[in-house]
Amino acid sequence: MGILDPWAGFGITLNTIFRKPFTQGYPQKGKEKVTMPRFHGRHQLNRWPDGLEKCVGCELCAWACPADAIYVEGADNTDDQRFSPGERYGHVYQINYLRCIFCGLCIEACPTRALTMTNEFKLADTSRSSLIYEKQDLLAPLVPGMEQPPHPRRLGEGEKDYFLGLPSTGQPDTRTAAPSRGVTP
């Protein structure tokens, strides 16, 4: 151990102590922070191209969550009230962002790719109850060509048409959704 080793640490401290922090003036001035493409932000419940929900209420995401932040209650679809192409759908879906550690294990557990994570990172709020997101807060917005559930299957007769096939156009869906729920400071 050399005699200058402690002074090298002080040099790093002095270098960073006078550096301008990123948060100075945020969010009033400057650009929005750009996140990396694989950033783990707010969750989103996805839809099929006809508007039906991808969530089948299997509760695997809730079982995989180490922080116990997800609550799912499944219900059965009927011919009159169809919310997903499968036999079941997520009737109640809640994510408690006071508990969530943004680990992504829920995403890995989802068999239908119904749950994904967006790049939205502004989740701060002034009340605890507003940080418990309900199903309507998490659902992806409807884009042109989608129909609000409940409605019959539009992409085929059975679940297999949805899970293994393409939309009736034969081309993958390339539409993009509008920005979802935003929190104002």
- Can you give the CATH number for the domain in which 131 is found? 3.30.70.3270
Q: Tell me the C-alpha distance between 166 and 179, whole Å.
A: 25
Amino acid at 130: S
Q: For residue 103, say whether it is annotated as part of any ligand binding site.
A: yes
DSSP secondary structure letter of residue 116: E
**Domain span at 58:** 42-164
Q: For residue 72, say whether it is annotated as part of any ligand binding site.
A: no
pLDDT profile of the chain (185 residues), mean per 10: 71 80 62 79 93 94 97 94 92 96 95 93 91 96 92 81 64 61 50
Amino acid at 49: P
**CB within 8 A of 19, min separation 6: which ones?**
none
First to last CA, the chain: 50
> Could you tell me how many helices (H) and strands (E) the chain has, helices first?
5, 5
Nearest to 38 by CA among 96, 107, 98, 141: 107
What's residue 185's pLDDT? 44
Q: For residue 54, say whether it is annotated as part of any ligand binding site.
A: no
Q: For residue 106, say whether it is annotated as part of any ligand binding site.
A: yes
Q: Which helix (H) or strand (E) holds 91?
A: strand 88-96
Domain count, the chain: 1
This model's pTM is above 0.85: no
What's residue 184's pLDDT? 47
In a domain, 89, yes or no: yes
What's residue 52's pLDDT? 93
In a domain, 77, yes or no: yes
In a domain, 169, yes or no: no
Asked if residue 114 lies in contact with residue 41, where contact means CB atoms within 8 angstroms, the answer is: no
What's residue 154's pLDDT? 83
Asked if residue 34 lies in contact with residue 72, where contact means CB atoms within 8 angstroms, the answer is: no
In a domain, 21, yes or no: no
Q: For residue 61, say whether it is annotated as part of any ligand binding site.
A: yes
DSSP secondary structure letter of residue 129: G
**CB within 8 A of 5, min separation 6: which ones?**
none
Q: How many CB atoms lie within 10 A of CB 72?
A: 22
In a domain, 22, yes or no: no
**Tens digit of pLDDT for each residue in 98-132?**
999 999 999 999 999 999 999 998 898 999 999 99
In a domain, 108, yes or no: yes
In a domain, 30, yes or no: no
In a domain, 23, yes or no: no
